[in-house]
Amino acid sequence: MSSSSEELAELYRPPRLPWLRVNMVSTLDGAATGESGQSGSINNQADKAVFDALRAQADAIIVGAGTARTENYRVADVPLVLVSRSAQVPEQLLEAPAGKVLVATCASSSGLAHARELLGDDQVVVVGETEVDLAALKAALVDRGHLNLLSEGGPHLLRDLVASGAADELCLTTVPRLIGGSHPRILGGDPVGADLELALLLEDDGTLLARWFVA
Ligand SMILES: NC(=O)c1ccc[n+]([C@@H]2O[C@H](COP(=O)([O-])OP(=O)(O)OC[C@H]3O[C@@H](n4cnc5c(N)ncnc54)[C@H](OP(=O)(O)O)[C@@H]3O)[C@@H](O)[C@H]2O)c1
């Protein structure tokens, strides 16, 4: 792969809108994190180029609160939507400018009132009674005009996006490394089944960059 950022933007264009894709990276032996316990220790330059291309065209970024905490997420150019049962905003995002951080949670969340106080009612999206209804979250974000939706995981959120039918695509980078040991895979939590179709496969010095559409 020697694609320019313009070529990558074209290669990673969504086939239609609204569209929700999840971008993940894995080693050849299926690890979703490296030695540091973060994905930063397994990704590489080619993965970063795709990560940037996807962010550049996203209208909003959806991320599990666990990943936002572990990966020390900061505000981005577009709104960051934190999916959290507990409605906890990670410390480093508490001072985010208005509109840059949204929390998606459920009505029974113990942290709902506090999140509303912190962010304002409009920035807290309540979808579902006891669980965060991810299909309803997708619809709510589309209603707000966010049509090209990018999720950056993590594994539990990816599993739930697949189970709920909200995910349209998985962008998966496979880096040419084996690391062994105990690491999460790109899906966590309860079993789920889904068939995917290969839509694009790029190669960069052994790194495989694929677009998989949920069938
Ligand atoms: N390889 C990759 O591409 C990649 C990508 C992202 C992350 N990671 C790694 O994955 C690890 C984190 O894994 P993880 O599975 O714990 O990440 P995660 O899915 O981001 O975090 C789980 C937490 O996020 C919230 N959450 C996720 N799905 C939810 C749902 N359906 N409804 C309500 N809340 C939901 C909950 O937060 P509350 O506890 O606040 O309720 C839950 O405890 C980290 O080591 C990270 O570095 C790897």
| Residue spans per domain, the chain | 17-59+148-215, 62-146
pTM: 0.98
pLDDT of residue 64: 98
Write the CA distances from 24 to 17, 111, 129, integer angstroms. Answer: 21, 28, 29
Q: Is 175 helix (H, G, I), strand (E, B) or coil?
A: strand
How far apart are the C-alpha atoms of 76 and 213, rounded to whole Å? 26
Ligand 1 neighbours, Cβ below 6 Å, are 24-26, 32-33, 37-39, 64-67, 70-71, 83-86, 88, 132, 134, 152-157, 160, 184, 186, 188
How is residue 132 written in tokens?
């965060």
Tens place of pLDDT per residue across the chain (215 aa)? 668 889 999 999 999 999 999 999 999 999 999 999 998 889 999 999 999 999 999 999 999 999 999 999 999 999 999 999 999 999 999 999 999 999 999 999 999 999 999 999 999 999 999 999 999 999 999 999 999 999 999 999 999 999 999 999 999 999 999 999 999 999 999 999 999 999 999 999 999 999 999 99
User: Taking Cα atoms as reference points, which of 43, 49, 57, 46 lies closest to residue 14?
Assistant: 57
Q: Residue 201: enclosing H or E segment and its boundaries?
A: strand 196-204
For residue 146, how far is the Cα from the chain centroid? 15
Length of the chain: 215
Which residue puts its alpha carbon closest to atom 32 of ligand 1?
132
Distance 57 CA to ligand 1 centre (A): 23
pLDDT of residue 102: 98
pLDDT of residue 78: 98
> Which residue type does 200 have?
L
Write the CA distances from 53 to 8, 41, 199, 202, integer angstroms. Answer: 6, 20, 17, 14
Tell the burial category of 60 from Cβ atoms under 10 Å away from its Cβ (0-12, 13-18, 19+): buried
Q: Which residues contact 51 (CB under 8 A, 6 or more apart)?
A: 23, 43
CATH of the domain spanning 17-59+148-215: 3.40.430.10
Q: What are the beta bridge partners of residue 64?
A: 83
Distance 207 CA to ligand 1 centre (A): 24
* Best probe residue, ligand 1, of 84, 126, 179 (max atoms within 8 Å of C-beta): 84
